[in-house]
Amino acid sequence: MCSTCGCSEGEVTITSGHHSDDASHCHDHAHHHHAHHDHCQCQTHDSASCEHEHEHDETIEFETSPSVEVHHHYYHHGDVHHHIHYHLAALPEAMPQPTMSEVTPTVKRTVTIEEQVLAKNDRIAAHNREHFAAQHLVALNFVSSPGSGKTTLLCETLRQLLPNQSCVVIEGDQQTQNDAQRIEATGAPAIQINTGKGCHLDAQMIHDAMHQLDAPQGSYLFIENVGNLVCPAGFDLGEKHKVVVLSVTEGEDKPLKYPHMFAAASVMLINKIDLLEHLDFDLQRCMQYAHQVNPELIIIPISATTGVGMDEWLSWLETQPCA
């Protein structure tokens, strides 16, 4: 389980979209320790020999005792935190209430040691960033809630960039390879990452996907993250920019409800503006809310279906040269 967001990945697979049935192109990550799932079970910890920052949780339950709950916190080995709960069940009022020293506990101890999640992710992200720079790749992390239309928008972007500009795509979804197949229909190579129960991509997944994705030097690398406006804000993938996509069907107050994502983004694409006449959506208010969270945010109203705003979006991409 991810200690940052509480999600549980289960089995993660990285698959080339056009080899979806070929087991030789499928990288099974069920055995791999990702940045936010590295953990071990142990009873002791030697802080001098381990770089990890760990958290210890201990629960001690008493079979008979008064109706008292005691929370005892203490620290051991510097940064190791022991948190002990004493849960005492009520005895009949006629019976004498024992003191804590008289109670013989039945101890059920679970000690979970977990590495600082984001610290390791950031180290891998820094490695990814160095790799992208060496290959002259411009990595853009597309983030949004589900149904914002970012895959449709990405497909239209690819159709207008190809074949004059090399582009590759990493697709993130919990299940299916539908989006990778849609991307490859445009002519761009794509790798699908299925995160299972996970709600975001992390730097390790991108690192592993890049080993399967033969990205030519001087390419745009579009990373389409799992639909989620919360967790992807905190996970650096090594990208140059986060591009947040917000559709007009979602409500203009999304930047205020999910400020961390909009604060982390460089560009905000307000998609599906062709539907504005059918909705109660205040475009100017949405832009004001976004700038309230991030005054430097570049905002482009756009429609992937009608093409409105595509020129402005492509012009911004040109300001991020691959060479």
pLDDT given at position 16: 73
- pLDDT class of 109 with cuts at 50, 70, 90: very low
pLDDT tens digits, one per residue of 119-138: 899 999 999 999 999 999 99
pLDDT given at position 173: 93
pLDDT given at position 315: 97
In the chain the first and final C-alpha atoms are separated, in Å, by 40
What DSSP state is assigned to residue 85? Answer: E
Question: Where do the DSSP E strands lie in 160-297?
Answer: 167-173, 190-194, 220-224, 241-247, 267-271
pTM of the model: 0.70
Enumerate the domain spans of the chain: 13-37+118-318, 40-114
| CB distance 157 to 313 below 8 Å | yes
pLDDT over threshold 50, residue 60: no
Amino acid at 251: G
More confident residue, 9 or 112: 9
pLDDT over threshold 90, residue 155: yes
Nearest to 29 by CA among 142, 221, 234, 197: 197
C-alpha distance from residue 84 to each of 34, 81, 103, 256 (Å)? 29, 10, 16, 38
pLDDT given at position 18: 60
| CB distance 64 to 103 below 8 Å | yes
More confident residue, 209 or 79: 209
More confident residue, 13 or 16: 13
Which residue shows structure tokens 């595509």?
310
Torsion of CA 154, 157, 158, 161, to 10 degrees: -160
pLDDT given at position 181: 96
Q: Average pLDDT in the 170-178 region?
A: 93
Query: From 3.40.50.2300, 3.40.50.620, 3.40.50.300, 1.10.10.10, which CATH number describes the 13-37+118-318 domain?
Result: 3.40.50.300
C-alpha distance from residue 91 to each of 65, 67, 70, 94, 98 (Å)? 6, 7, 16, 8, 10
pLDDT given at position 99: 57
pLDDT over threshold 90, residue 75: no
More confident residue, 92 or 31: 92
Residue-wise burial string across 217-238, b where 16 or more C-beta atoms lie within 10 A, e elsewhere? eebbbbbbbbbbbebbbbbbbb
pLDDT over threshold 90, residue 300: yes
Mean pLDDT, the chain, as a whole number?
A: 78
pLDDT over threshold 90, residue 157: yes
pLDDT given at position 31: 38
**Cα–chain center distance at 202:** 6
| Distance (Å, whole) CA 322 – CA 182 | 24
